[in-house]
Structure 1
């Protein structure tokens, strides 16, 4: 990673900095964390409708089936900002007689088509006229019909269909034109409603001109509903309440960088926290039909404001999201809440230890497994360990010397317990089993896997499939938790780690991790030596004291995000504390064994 030294441009993102209280306004596009200019795509920035080029097309055909009928006339009008940029019109020789009924409807006769070009000449000319690009939209009245014929013709001619953004004026009319105003949404009816300068008469160019006027009339009605940009047209016809769609303006002015967003309620309370690669695009998506979750719809109706926290990298955004959810406990978030209350499995501290489910484990504990996402998962993994090891299951605390009146339980009679309660097993003999359990909790998954697989095979052979499935689920719960713990434990115990990854646009993304917690992140532009930036990040990153919990200084979800980032093939380890454990799984760890599928 060492390159020639140059002046360094670096911004260190302090994760402890207070979140801004309102919306972020940008003077111009820039990549988060660098201040470097960035060419933002139209899908990220949003194109005002006044800057969109609309190619309004209408076709006349010999029938209604694109696979069996042919085009007889193409008419198109290109407009932008209310100004006509050009028109396209031509008759097309269909290669077969025009049905009499079509002649009556359109007035196009076989004689009129003599000498007209075939569709093989017309379609390339039309595509050149249209000039479809990222800000060009194909418009038609009942677009499925016209686009179906154009696409079918392109397929027959082996031409690449450009797949432009398509707007159907019928769909738009259904959104804003009521039956009280118009009995139907036919082109002639709408043209009369909006006072079109050209009356549609089933001739392609005339109908296209009428559709232009209808389009402008519809857009005028849609603007107050939040349809002000190109990206709005793709969803404006969706069944979204107008009061919610109007709130899409809350995304105006938001940055197009990675970051965290917060939906704020009428009492300034945080309703929901999320993260996005592109803040503006993600927030706008909530106000379209793409968002179908009932609870989120309820949240959007309450929302009065959107706050954002731009981040240097997507990893920082993901971590901030987790921390804010844990800190604020927003009512409409369901994931990552109260990570400090996740259950663990550990051995009790007594002469004859047993397995127990607990809420916290002190740092340095070597006989614990977790954290689990639920108590049910912890209970399943505990039962898997009990299946593999003849550890006592009774819950009372046993003295080193058995009481005279003690009686053995049924498990002892079945040979599943050494009965230390009655003196059938000494502290020393029991300690050997405890040692095996400690290994199963931390490094050696083999004994548990072997015992459970054997039990599953026996039950399946006896056609006791439900019981076999229960044992499979216990094995799965154990392996999932053991994999996670064995993967994250080296990070939880690591005082400091620095890693770097090539950014998609060049340069480097750099992260600083201390005891499993993201302590800082920064970006370095292409062509700049990253080493001074790394030294600056280490010096200014969050000071993380040694943790008091076995889970390190962060939630397991946060450390998993960090581990995923480090495990990426493009990530390079720059610095690792001398006292750190190897970032590797144990030889007989859970990663060695496949996790059984869910039922």
Structure 2
């Protein structure tokens, strides 16, 4: 949004209290730094009242072109004895101190003033800026004026001053244009400087009418819940400042079509103030999972995330399942969707000759060899049942393959990654890039899943973790985690003893039942948010009941190596062959 730039009060300042300095410059040309300023004119106003005026000719340091002299009436003779910009600029900045700058076609005037500040070695104060041209384009129609020139708008709004290309005269005319424009946006509900800063004709009337929903909300961290007239949850979000964030839904800064639709339906916004940002993030996830709001796109169906299971039977195989059960099987995941789970299964089958048939098999096997067995892609235990010795050896051989697959899923995955990288490299050397890309995607899927299950599984095994971190305002944020689920948070004030707060949190925290590992007692997404908080710089562990660790040579390291490559592939940073070589290398 170009209308206003700069930092504004989060609560908004009534427009009647804002002091505007309307400024106009005359110059020798259109290029700041090359052309010079010949005149500065400014008017300071507040609440429709003129507080003061500023006007001076300026020696531009370069000759004034004849056509500029004809246009403005300012000649070289007139500015010969005028002060230079080095003297004028400090005086103008003092006149404009604490104000919001206004100009007609503000980028032009502001660019010259900034260039002058750089030339003089003067720091630019960083004024908020209102451009009356931009504002006029929002609220003045083509039926009213043929263009948005100052002279046209001055006539439209009945300015008693006619613009004549002299700085003070044009600034006075712009004052009347500004007041006419503010009156129009005021009829649309714009009352504060903050609302003016985000005003745009792109904001629908329905959005503007709903601005009152944000007014009673607190300027505090937490969760906000949009509800319709039947009390159905439409959308859940989180912010460090609930009121400021909700207000943004009624301005031009919100560009998502579905959010404009949601605002049009909303009748109420419920705030939930949270003690810490982590609590807010977790509450948001839980509310989305509980209510499944139609305008939230993420985190609505955590129960639909599949897992990959290495079964427990005489000859185990890989299977995609919907939940973790207490069956002593080995699990990998959860995955964002079935496609990712299938890629991980394919990756494991690339390296380990696990059987891929789904028929039941006893210890004696059962059935003839399949095509995969003939290709060497399956150990084919089903074919080795006739001879007693061969059968026993088949059990031993297949158990070794299963052990290797289980180790790659739960611990050391270096062999798996090495073999898949070699496969990608071989395919790339043969310029079979499409097949190499398929293997690459399988590698990424299995490594991400292994890293995820190794991290959250370890956290889920801990009956209780208490940790603390210092917020910027002092004191301690204290977090209680039980079996991977956030069981409570609190904040000890600055200067107080944190231990009573730790003891109270433990006594009052949520009672959490032990989950079926490696699944946490919370959703995997909540467990990962907790993990990110625990692993962040500045977090101190107060107490850990259990063993919180990640395996040596686990998938976490490999994921850290692969994620940048995946990001480069998504953004197209390098050539296809080079990127595959990077994965294979």
Structure 1 length-normalised TM: 0.88
Q: Distance in 2 between matches of 1:377 and 1:145?
A: 53
Tell me, which stretches of 5 or more residues in structure 2 are unaligned?
1-6, 386-390, 570-585
* 3-state secondary structure, aligned to 1:44: coil
Report runs of 4+ in structure 1 exceeding 4 Å deviation: 363-366
- 1:119, distance to aligned residue in structure 2 (A): 0.8
> Residue 31 of structure 2 corresponds to which residue in structure 1?
65
Secondary structure of 2:45's partner?
A: strand
Higher RCO (CA < 8 A, seq sep 6+): 1
Match of 1:595 among 541, 548, 562: 562
Aligned residue among 133, 140, 148 for 1:185: 148
| CA deviation profile, 1:26-59 (whole Å, cap 9, x unmatched) | xxxxxxxxxxxxxxx9542222222322111111
Q: Which residue of 2 aligns with 1:77?
A: 43
Q: Which piece of structure 1 moves more, 422-431 or 487-496?
A: 422-431
For the residues of structure 2 that align with 1:364 and 1:558, how far apart are their CA atoms? 24
Alpha-carbon distance in 2 for matches of 1:365, 1:74: 81
Match for residue 411 of structure 1?
372
Provide the secondary structure at the position in 2 that maps to 1:84: strand
8 Å contact 2:10–2:194 — kept in the other structure?
no
The superposition leaves residues 317-346 of structure 1 with CA deviations (integer Å, 9 ceiling, x where unpaired) of 111111111000111111111112211111
Aligned position for 1:509: 477
How far residue 150 of structure 1 moved from its aligned partner, in angstroms, is: 1.1
C-alpha displacement of 1:388: 1.9
The alignment partner of 1:391 has SS state of coil
Give me the whole-angstrom Cα distance separating, in 2, the residues matched to 1:85 and 1:490: 68
* 8 Å contact kept, 1:273–1:321: yes
CA-CA distance at 1:162 after TM superposition: 2.3
Which residue is equivalent to 1:556? 524
How far apart in 2 are the matches of 1:190 and 1:511? Answer: 59
Aligned to 1:254: 217
Aligned residues: 551
SS at match of 2:541: strand
Distance 2:373 2:144 in 1: 84
Q: Counterpart of 1:451?
A: 419
Do the aligned residues in 2 keep the contact of 1:363 with 1:550 (CA within 8 Å)? Answer: no
CA contact (8 A) 2:458 2:518 kept: no
Distance in 2 of aligned mates of 1:459 and 1:109: 75
SS of equivalent to 1:161: coil
How far apart are 1:316 and its partner, in Å? 1.0
TM-score between the two structures when normalised by the length of structure 2: 0.90
- In structure 1, runs of 5+ residues without a counterpart are 1-40
Where do residues 172-211 of structure 1 align in structure 2 (5 Å cutoff)?
172-211=135-174
**Aligned 8 A contact 2:469 2:538 in 1:** yes
1:585 partner SS: coil
Match of 1:152 among 105, 108, 115: 115
- Provide Cα deviations, 1:400-431, integer angstroms capped at 9, x if missing partner: 1234xx21112222233222112265334322
SS in 2 for 1:162: coil
CA contact 1:44–1:280 (8 Å) conserved in 2: no
Matches within 5 A, 1:456-495: 456-495=424-463
**Contact 1:58 1:74 (C-alpha < 8 Å) held by counterparts:** yes
Secondary structure of the 2:562 match is coil
Aligned partner of 1:496 in structure 2 is: 464
Cα offset for 1:448?
Answer: 1.2
Q: Is residue 2:68 matched to residue 1:102? A: yes
- Report the more deviating stretch, 112-121 or 197-206: 197-206
Which residue of structure 2 lines up, in the alignment, with residue 118 of structure 1?
Answer: 84
Contact 1:381 1:477 in 2 (8 A): yes
2:308 alignment partner in structure 1: 345
Q: 1:559 to 1:364 in 2, by over 3 A?
A: farther
8 Å contact from structure 1 (residues 78, 130) kept in 2 = yes
